[in-house]
């Protein structure tokens, strides 16, 4: 059994196979995930509303993935529930850029995988762009 934080076999294999510039999306329960030929791998972790949370999932993924930069939607910075920006403000090590939600959904089509969480906060989605460790 692995000794690191990330125990999910699909996500561990994904991280191990990623190259510089590859993208993985960690999304909320409502993010549309592309289907069909050429669609990203779907890793569905959602169990019930809020489980697992975006924070829990990102913490586990980032324990093994080297991230160069990330994208969140402008819309995540609006409204009363700012869970994603609060989470982002507590992390360091990579730049987080804002794009429109429509652009974020478009990036999903080019991602290697989309990890679906149980998060129910609107616009709580993040595209992680893989970096290198050297």
- Binding residues are 28, 101, 123-125
Does the annotation count 74 as an active-site position?
no
Provide the annotated binding site for substrate: 28, 101, 123-125
**Residue from 20, 42, 91, 110 carrying the catalytic annotation:** 20
Q: Which residues, at least 6 apart from 121, have a Cβ–Cβ distance to it below 8 Å?
A: 28, 54, 81, 83, 84
Q: List, by residue number, the catalytic residues.
A: 20
């Amino acid at each position: 059994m692995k000794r690191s934080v990330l125990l999910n076999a699909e996500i561990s294999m994904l991280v191990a196979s990623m190259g510089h510039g590859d993208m993985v999306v960690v999304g909320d329960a409502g993010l549309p995930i592309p289907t069909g030929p050429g669609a990203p791998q779907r890793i569905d972790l959602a169990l019930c509303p809020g489980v697992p949370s975006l924070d829990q999932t990102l913490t586990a993924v980032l324990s093994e993935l080297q991230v160069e930069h990330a994208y969140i939607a402008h819309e995540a910075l609006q409204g009363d529930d700012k869970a994603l920006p609060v989470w982002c403000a507590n992390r360091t090590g990579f730049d987080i850029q804002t794009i429109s939600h429509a652009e974020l959904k478009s990036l999903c089509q080019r991602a290697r995988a989309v990890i679906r969480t149980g998060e129910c906060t609107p616009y709580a989605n993040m595209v992680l762009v893989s970096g290198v460790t050297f």
